[in-house]
Structure formats: structure tokens, C-alpha cells
Amino acid sequence: MKRPAIALLAGALLPCAFAQSVPTPAVADNRLAQPSTQMMEGDALVYPKDAAYPAGLAARGVQGRAVVRVKVGPEGKAAGVTIAESSRSRELDNAALALARSYPYTPPKPGVAPSEVLVPIRFRKDTLSELPHKTCADFNIDKAWFATAFPEFKPGDMEVVKMAIGAVLFTLPGPQQMPYARNSGAVAAAAIAACATQPDEKFFALIQREAAKLPRK
């Protein structure tokens, strides 16, 4: 049985739209003391207000997710860190390495080989509460960096676009949600195109405006 489109959209967007900032990830649990590689649950989120976000990068649209491979030493400290998945920004990767190096971990059990932990760290420029105030000029800066760093993806794949699409979904009356879910890609594309020529407009408002044009059923 196919899942309804609305459920698919909500499932994809909710984690992106409503994840909260955390200064460090939760301390690794006992599973990480096994001699194997584990992925830490949930991303550690870093915002521009945090000291760990390299100064000036957010203003240039630089943001992304790095995954750090950490070798955990006998005292629960990082004995070695390397980038397992790059954010495609050297500055963000270096910041992610520094953060992962500073975190506490569960040490390996006595007589067990050092464990490895994969620590995902996401440098996110925009918070959900700031989204309604984001101008198209700022969005266009983000889009330009995204196009350079991720040429294989489309602007609609940007995290801020998914956040906006997900946030608008939950402001719509029930009858409008299904048409919106089916046409969210077109809504995003129209808003992105409008932003290119209207730098003073608010990006979130354009998403709402395009959503309002959809049929009610």
C-alpha cells in the first residue's frame, strides 16, 4: 500500500524543520564501547551564534553537514579524528574536527580494542524562528554557495527550502495540505525564481504566496 503523499512529505521535512540546537551531542552510550563503528544518533547542530561556527562563513552562505570519524581512547577522549563525510567546506570540516575532538565519549571496556564513533555535525545558518525574516537577498547568497559546493543538486534541495516548505505545510487548513504536498516542488521552484529578481522580498512569504495559488482540494 502506498503511503499518502502528505505523510511522505511530513516525514521528510519534520526532522529538518523542528530539530533543536544542541551545543554538543549526547555522550555516547554503552554501544559505542564495542570494537566497531557506530553512528551517533542525531546531528549536533551548530548555528552562527555559536562560537564553533567559523566567523563570517554564514554571511557567505557557507553551511552544511560533516561526519567525523572518532577513535575513542581508553579514557573516553578522542584519540584521533578524521572526516568521514565532508561538508564541502574546508573551514566547516576543520571546525567539525575540533568539536568532535572536544566531546566526551564512553571509553572502551577493558581489554577491548578502541571503538570508533561517527559523529554528524550540522552547521545550520537559519533557525525556524528566523525563517520568516529571511530576505531573498540572503537566500540568493545561500543559493550561490550551494550551487558551487553541490553542483549535482538543485536549489530545491537546499535545507532552508525544505524547512520553509515544511513550515508552511503546518499553517495550511486540512483541505489544502494534500494539494500542497503534491505540488511542493513547483511551489519551491516558483518562490526561488521570484527571489532571483526580488531581493527585498521575504523568502518564506513567497513560499506562502505560491502555496495560496494552489486549488483548495
The string of pLDDT tens digits covering residues 53-75 is: 999 999 999 999 999 999 998 88
Query: What confidence score (pLDDT) does residue 40 get?
Result: 58
Question: 113-136 pLDDT, tens per residue?
Answer: 668 899 999 999 999 999 999 999
Q: How would DSSP label each residue in 156-211?
A: GGSHHHHHHHHHHHTTS-HHHHHHHHHHHHHHHHHHHHHHHH-TTSBHHHHHHHHH
% pLDDT > 70, the chain = 79
CATH class of 22-123: alpha beta
* From 37-46, 97-106, 180-189, the region with the lowest mean pLDDT: 37-46
The secondary structure of residue 67, as a DSSP letter, is E
Q: What is the pLDDT of residue 79?
A: 92
Residue type, 124: R
Residue ranges of domains in the chain = 5-14+128-212, 22-123
Strands, E assignment, the chain: 37-39, 44-46, 64-72, 78-85, 116-123
Burial, 214: exposed, middle or buried (Cβ in 10 Å; 0-12, 13-18, 19+)? middle
Q: What is d(CA 169, CA 160) in angstroms, rounded to the nearest whole number?
A: 14
CA angle 137, 195, 156 (to 5 degrees): 105
pTM score over 0.75: yes
